[in-house]
Amino acid sequence: MKVLVTGGCGYIGSHTVVDLLNEDYEVVIVDNLSNSKIEVIDKIKKITGKEVTFYQYDLCDKEKVEIVFARENPDAVIHFAGLKAVGESVQKPLLYYENNLISTLNLLEIMQKYKARKFVFSSSATVYGKPASLPIDETFPLSPTNPYGTTKLMIENILADLYQSDNSFDITILRYFNPIGAHKSGLLGEDPNGIPNNLMPYIVKVATKELPVLNVFGNDYDTVDGTGVRDYIHVCDLSYGHVLALKNKRVGLKIYNLGTGMGTSVLELVNMFEKVNNIKIDRQFVARREGDIDACYASNAKAKEELNFECKYNLEDMCLDSYNYVKNNINQ
Ligand code: NAD
Ligand code: WQD
């Protein structure tokens, strides 16, 4: 089976490409490298010993998307490509709507033309907004609170309408919780440019002394220790969820949460990071970050039941692997 992976040079996409190659899928990557590096292709080859076909194209260019389909004729598409920074999406909403929506519309239109039917989409727990209760299951109401999240919900709605009009499509929507960690090889991981928005990349930059102190956003939430609780999932567990989605024999339009089902507070994560890496992370409490919620964690019962999804890695692995990746790549 030939799989087109959009955004395959990015954080989650690159780990998924490794899993796909390890399971003998043929892989074609399209990525414009707006948030990733070409070196990832060599690293994927180094880890797997296998080749991938790579196109440095922007999916917003429909002619380019068509060139890929005409040449490669993929059986399935896993669509990771997109912009993902919540704060930036508030500053530049039109960029987010344009990039995330046009790229997806182009892909779906060309898939329809070339009769590619299997589509796996990277959605996000952010579509749930502030949940009324926990854990969050797939039937919860959806109410994203920022333009980035709205692009995810809009795409979910587009997929539902498309499926309604043409039920030969086989669509899986995966709603990720908080991916962290990195590949055990230390070759693939997440290392954002500039000051990170997300917790684990920030902790790692304090560990490497690129940043002086972790700002903990709020200590008066209604949680175990007053700090925000999230469902952190190892990127390698998350990536394998995509292989399971391709293998899933159910056809139709399916939606799954991909999380561990376990909530971890900011302090619990920082303390675990300190313990397993034997390093001190200076932290200070600051005001809550606007738009943040107290707690968010998944019910992953549906993914377990229907995809045989399971999490093999724990919080210790996540902390070890995140730091290991950045230590290995610090001067690159
Ligand atoms: P990433 O930024 O590392 O990867 C996305 C890749 O898409 C990048 O390599 C980028 O260059 C590419 N890209 C962006 N726009 C493109 C375009 N128009 N044409 C071609 N390539 C383009 O992000 P990630 O963390 O790997 O996330 C992958 C997907 O998962 C995204 O859709 C993101 O919204 C979603 N998601 C991520 C998280 C998270 O916390 N990382 C959580 C939930 C959902
Ligand atoms: C986690 C916890 C913060 C940074 C975001 C997106 C979401 C999804 C995953 C894409 C919160 C606290 C953070 C810091 C802190 N991405 N924190 N100091 O906000 O749950 O989710 O990434 O779909 O859409 O919103 O993740 O890592 O930013 O924050 O105290 O410097 O860490 O307040 O409690 P979040 P995060």
pLDDT digits (tens, 9 = 90+) for 204-229: 999 999 999 999 999 999 999 999 99
* Percentage of residues of the chain with pLDDT beyond 90: 97
Tell me, yes or no, whether 26 lies in a domain.
Answer: yes
Tell me, yes or no, whether 99 lies in a domain.
Answer: yes
Pocket of ligand 1 (CB under 6 A): 7, 9-13, 30-36, 58-60, 80-84, 99, 103, 122, 124, 176, 179
Pairwise CA distance, residues 257 & 259, whole Å? 6
pLDDT digits (tens, 9 = 90+) for 48-75: 999 999 999 999 999 999 999 999 999 9
pLDDT of 228 reads 98
Tell me, yes or no, whether 31 lies in a domain.
Answer: yes
Mutate which of 217, 219, 272, 315 to test ligand 2's pocket (most atoms within 8 Å of Cβ)? 217
* Percentage of residues of the chain with pLDDT beyond 70: 99
Minimal-distance CA residue to ligand 1 atom 15: 82
Amino acid symbol at 82 = G
Residue 11: CATH number of its domain: 3.40.50.720
Tell me, yes or no, whether 326 lies in a domain.
Answer: no
Give the number of domains in the chain. Answer: 1
Q: Which residues contact 111 (CB under 8 A, 6 or more apart)?
A: 69, 77, 117, 119
The whole-number average pLDDT for the span 13-19 is: 99
Pocket of ligand 2 (CB under 6 A): 84, 86, 124, 126, 178, 197-199, 202, 215-217, 228, 230, 266, 289, 292
Pairwise CA distance, residues 283 & 207, whole Å? 11
Q: For residue 89, report the distance from its CA to the centre of ligand 1, in Å.
A: 13
Q: Is 240 a catalytic residue?
A: no
Tell me, yes or no, whether 311 lies in a domain.
Answer: no
Confidence of residue 171 (pLDDT cuts 50, 70, 90): very high
DSSP type of residue 288: P
pLDDT of 331 reads 66
pLDDT digits (tens, 9 = 90+) for 225-258: 999 999 999 999 999 999 999 999 999 999 999 9
CB 198 within 8 A of CB 84: no
pLDDT of 192 reads 85
pLDDT of 332 reads 60
Q: For residue 278, report the distance from its CA to the centre of ligand 2, in Å.
A: 24
pLDDT digits (tens, 9 = 90+) for 116-166: 999 999 999 999 999 999 999 999 999 999 999 999 999 999 999 999 999
pLDDT of 330 reads 79
Q: For residue 175, report the distance from its CA to the centre of ligand 1, in Å.
A: 13
Check whether 84 has a pLDDT greater than 90: yes
- Arithmetic mean of pLDDT over the chain: 97
Instruction: Assign 216 to helix, strand or coil.
Output: strand
Pairwise CA distance, residues 313 & 323, whole Å? 15
Ligand nearest to the CA of 126: 2
Tell me, yes or no, whether 110 lies in a domain.
Answer: yes
pLDDT digits (tens, 9 = 90+) for 273-290: 999 999 999 999 999 999
Q: Which residues contact 150 (CB under 8 A, 6 or more apart)?
A: 97, 144
Minimal-distance CA residue to ligand 2 atom 21: 178
pLDDT of 63 reads 98
| Cα distance from N-terminal residue to C-terminal residue, the chain | 34
CB 88 within 8 A of CB 194: no
pLDDT of 41 reads 98
Atom of ligand 1 nearest to the CA of 179: 40
Tell me, yes or no, whether 277 lies in a domain.
Answer: no
**Residue 119 lies in domain:** 2-181+232-259
Tell me, yes or no, whether 151 lies in a domain.
Answer: yes
The whole-number average pLDDT for the span 4-18 is: 98
